[in-house]
Amino acid sequence: MLTDDLRQSLEAYLAKYYVEPEHAALAEVAEATPGEDLIKGSDHKVPDDVHLTLDQLMEDVGESFHEMLFRLIDRSGMTDVEVYKKANVDRKLFSKIKSNPAYHPRKHTVLALAIALELSLDETVDLLARAEYALSPGSKSDLIVKYFIEHGIYDIMTINFALDEYGERPEQHE
């Protein structure tokens, strides 16, 4: 259950940062730097001083989602069991993530693991990006999770309660 202070603080946060989905694209355009091309498939000019080959780009790929997740688990000092229980993730699903480096979990699962590991917002954004996800200003559920991370509140049950209270039912993990 949310306290009145927490509810008021969350309400103020959502009022400040939530962008209605139909306005989200306009917000992205407004935030773009002058001359930045936002239209996919358009002629994008590469600066003359950038001449990277595909092989060079592939060498700089960095950690995969799987590699980063298990590095962060090791860094946390928690066992795998502690992490998946704290994240409220099923043992079978966690086993699938651990045993298959190419497995692509749902966004909700990645967020639950980030919360269980008590990652900073930057680390959470990085982990999400490695799983090919992002936090969207047009998603109330994303903003609610972001609020709790920014405020150092990593209790998955409290976060799920807040999501439910705002009509953003927590998804089932897969």
Task: Please report the pLDDT score of residue 33 as a whole number.
Answer: 46
Task: Please report the pLDDT score of residue 18 as a whole number.
Answer: 87
On whether residue 47 sits in a domain, the answer given is no
On whether residue 128 sits in a domain, the answer given is yes
Task: Please report the pLDDT score of residue 35 as a whole number.
Answer: 46
54-68 pLDDT tens trace:
666 556 667 899 999
On whether residue 8 sits in a domain, the answer given is no
Task: Please report the pLDDT score of residue 22 as a whole number.
Answer: 61
List the one residue out of 86, 129, 138 whose CA is nearest residue 107.
Answer: 129
On whether residue 2 sits in a domain, the answer given is no
Structure tokens at 77: 């000092």
Task: Please report the pLDDT score of residue 1 as a whole number.
Answer: 76
On whether residue 19 sits in a domain, the answer given is no
Residues (pLDDT < 50) of the chain are 28-42
On whether residue 23 sits in a domain, the answer given is no
On whether residue 11 sits in a domain, the answer given is no
Q: For the chain, what is the domain count?
A: 1
Measured CA to CA, the distance from residue 167 to residue 118 in angstroms comes to 24
Q: Tell me how far apart the 2 most distant CA atoms of the chain are, in Å.
A: 57
Task: Please report the pLDDT score of residue 48 as a whole number.
Answer: 54
- Domain of 98? 65-174
Angle between helix 121-130 and helix 65-76 axes, rounded to 10 deg: 150
Residues 6 or more apart whose Cβ sits within 8 Å of residue 9: 147, 151
Q: What is the pTM of this model?
A: 0.76
Long-range contacts of 4-8 (CB under 8 A, 24+ apart): 6/162, 7/165
Measured CA to CA, the distance from residue 130 to residue 156 in angstroms comes to 22
On whether residue 33 sits in a domain, the answer given is no
Task: Please report the pLDDT score of residue 40 as a whole number.
Answer: 46
